[in-house]
């Protein structure tokens, strides 16, 4: 006998006593407990604990599991009701988030109930209370970083960052290995020869995971204004590089190598990137310079620019010599307004 409904166990206990014509005094005597405790059980002031359930099973011939399940169901219902009442007080906080866009991106379930939406946001951000959600999302994540003032939505940025963490958690990643990363750069450069980066993305993610970098592609929400981020997960020695999928393969490689520049040059530091090859501060310029030199060594580039011929045959010849994609060279020429 297992209850599949929710009721206060005290009400069921009173019904059973009535059916058996048993008084509270008799129940107390048969169970070997005080009359006061029986009164608390019958009024719902005391919960039915495992020992009490076992004693009720002997005295009333109603199984222990019945009483325990009854209490569990009621406790769950009471908690959910109290939680819903508490969340209802803060349901207006949902308006800060682009919930409809999150639904479209399959980040949260679709619902029009603001209380359910708030609960879904808590689950998405992996927090157990509204206070924790507010503490986690109330501060602008860009406020401490060396970037220009943006017309961005801080809550959209928080959503994008959390989506990246959840995606990274699904990627098996080794501890960060700087030496291994430096040794893998030649192989990473070779992958730029792909005409579409999507075709080599699984191989790229696997290669980076072996050196402690989780590379995730997460489309940015419309108001986030961020194209990339490099995050170090403390205290675990792991790096997340999260990218908003670029429109072109060349932009993807420049953005990726820019973020790798931050990993190599600025360990344990948190960076946002607005666009590849952008002027977002001294550290960003350092990362750009590193990426430029890794993809196309400075001496080689200066010699190439000096000769002044930028037709596709010349570009493809240089790409072949460097074992990189020609689109990477074209993108740099465009950036330096040489093409």
One domain for residues 266 and 176: yes
One domain for residues 291 and 329: no
Q: 3-state SS of the chain? A: CCCCCCCCHHHHHHHHHHHHCCCHHHHHHHHCCCHHHHHHHHHCCCCCCHHHHHHHHHHHCCCHHHHHHHHHHHHHHHHHHHHHHHHHCCHHHHHHCCHHHHHHCCCCCCCCCHHHHHHHHHHHHCCCCHHHHHHHHCCCCCCCCCCCCCCCCHHHHHHHHHHHHHHHHCCCCCCCCHHHHHHHHHHHHHHCCCCCHHHHHHHHHHHHHCCCEEEEECCCCCCCCCCEEEEEECCCCEEEEEECCCCCHHHHHHHHHHHHHHHHHCCCCCEEECCCCCCCCHHHHHHHHHHHHHHCCHHHHHHHHHHCCCCHHHHHHHHHHHCCCHHHHHHHHHHCCCC
Mean pLDDT, to the nearest integer, of 151-161? 83
In this predicted structure, the answer to whether residue 190 has a pLDDT above a threshold of 90 is: yes
Number of domains in the chain: 4
Residue 284 to residues 164, 188, 199, 264: CA-CA distances in angstroms?
21, 21, 28, 12
Backbone phi, psi, residue 233, to 5°: -90, 110
Model confidence pLDDT, tens digit, residues 4-32: 668 899 999 999 999 999 999 999 999 99
One domain for residues 201 and 103: no
pLDDT at position 2, please?
Answer: 56
Single residue among 88, 122, 157 that ends a domain in this structure: 88
Model confidence pLDDT, tens digit, residues 32-65: 999 999 999 999 999 999 999 999 999 999 999 9
Q: Residue 235's pLDDT band (boundaries 50, 70, 90)?
A: low
Percent of the chain whose predicted confidence (pLDDT) is above 90: 63
Residue 57 lies in a domain: yes
Residue 4 lies in a domain: no
One domain for residues 126 and 101: yes
Residue 164 lies in a domain: no
Q: Residue 338's pLDDT band (boundaries 50, 70, 90)?
A: confident
pLDDT at position 277, please?
Answer: 47
Q: Residue 61 is part of a domain; what is its CATH number?
A: 1.10.260.40
Q: Are 124 and 162 in contact (CB under 8 A)?
A: yes
Quickly tell me which residue has 């592609």 as its tokens.
Answer: 217
Q: How far apart are CA 258 and CA 266, in angstroms?
A: 12
One domain for residues 112 and 177: no
One domain for residues 27 and 119: no
Percent of the chain whose predicted confidence (pLDDT) is above 70: 91
Q: Are 203 and 233 in contact (CB under 8 A)?
A: no
One domain for residues 106 and 201: no
Residue 324 lies in a domain: yes
Q: Are 9 and 71 in contact (CB under 8 A)?
A: yes
Model confidence pLDDT, tens digit, residues 64-98: 999 999 999 999 999 999 999 999 999 999 999 99
Model confidence pLDDT, tens digit, residues 197-232: 999 999 999 999 999 999 999 988 887 777 888 888
One domain for residues 41 and 58: yes
Q: How far apart are CA 9 and CA 176, in angstroms?
A: 54
Mean pLDDT, to the nearest integer, of 122-130? 95
Single residue among 88, 107, 122 that ends a domain in this structure: 88
Residue 79 lies in a domain: yes
One domain for residues 331 and 307: yes
One domain for residues 285 and 176: yes
Residue 314 lies in a domain: yes
Tell me the two tokens of residue 85: 């009442």
Q: How far apart are CA 255 and CA 104, in angstroms?
A: 26
Q: Residue 314's pLDDT band (boundaries 50, 70, 90)?
A: very high
Q: Which domain holds residue 123?
A: 91-137
Model confidence pLDDT, tens digit, residues 258-286: 999 989 988 777 677 655 445 567 888 88
One domain for residues 64 and 103: no
Answer whether the bond into residue 210 is a cis peptide, omega within 30°: no
One domain for residues 103 and 206: no
**Helix 312-322 and helix 298-307: axis angle, to 10°?**
160
pLDDT at position 247, please?
Answer: 83
Single residue among 295, 311, 329 that ends a domain in this structure: 295
Residues 29-41: b if buried by 16+ CB within 10 A, e if exposed? eebeeeeeebeeb
Residue 231 lies in a domain: yes
Q: Which residue has the higher pLDDT, 41 or 246?
A: 41
pLDDT at position 23, please?
Answer: 95
Residue 149 lies in a domain: no
From the list 234, 239, 233, the residue with the least C-alpha distance to 211 is 239
pLDDT at position 230, please?
Answer: 86
């Amino acid at each position: 006998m297992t209850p599949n409904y929710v009721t206060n166990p005290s009400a069921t206990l009173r019904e059973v006593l009535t059916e058996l014509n048993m008084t509270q005094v008799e129940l107390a005597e048969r169970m070997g407990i005080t009359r006061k405790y029986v009164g608390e059980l019958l009024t719902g002031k005391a919960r039915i604990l495992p020992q009490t359930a076992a004693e009720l099973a002997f005295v009333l011939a109603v199984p222990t599991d019945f009483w325990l399940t009854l209490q569990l169901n009621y406790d769950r219902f009471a908690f959910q009701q109290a939680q819903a009442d508490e969340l209802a007080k803060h349901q207006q906080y949902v308006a800060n988030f682009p919930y409809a866009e999150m639904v479209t991106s399959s980040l949260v379930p679709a619902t029009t109930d603001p209380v359910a939406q708030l609960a879904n946001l808590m689950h998405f951000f992996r927090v157990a209370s509204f206070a924790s959600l507010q503490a986690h999302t109330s501060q602008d994540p860009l406020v401490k970083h060396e970037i220009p003032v943006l017309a961005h939505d801080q809550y959209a940025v928080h959503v994008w960052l959390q989506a990246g963490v959840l995606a990274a958690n699904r990627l098996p990643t080794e501890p960060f290995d700087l030496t291994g990363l430096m040794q893998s750069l030649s192989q990473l450069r070779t992958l730029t020869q792909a005409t579409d980066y999507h075709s080599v993305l699984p191989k790229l993610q696997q290669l980076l995971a072996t050196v402690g970098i989780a590379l995730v592609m997460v489309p940015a929400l419309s108001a986030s204004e961020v194209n990339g981020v490099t995050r170090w997960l403390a205290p675990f020695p792991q790096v997340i590089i999260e990218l908003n999928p670029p429109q072109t393969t060349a932009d993807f490689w420049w953005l990726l190598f820019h973020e790798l520049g931050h990993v190599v040059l600025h360990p344990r530091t948190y960076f946002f990137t607005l666009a590849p090859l952008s002027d977002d501060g001294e550290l960003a310029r350092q990362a750009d310079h590193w990426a430029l030199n890794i993809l196309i060594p400075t001496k080689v580039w200066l010699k190439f620019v000096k000769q002044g011929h930028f037709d596709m045959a010349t570009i493809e010849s240089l790409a072949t010599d460097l074992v990189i994609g020609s689109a990477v060279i074209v993108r740099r020429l465009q950036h330096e307004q040489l093409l």
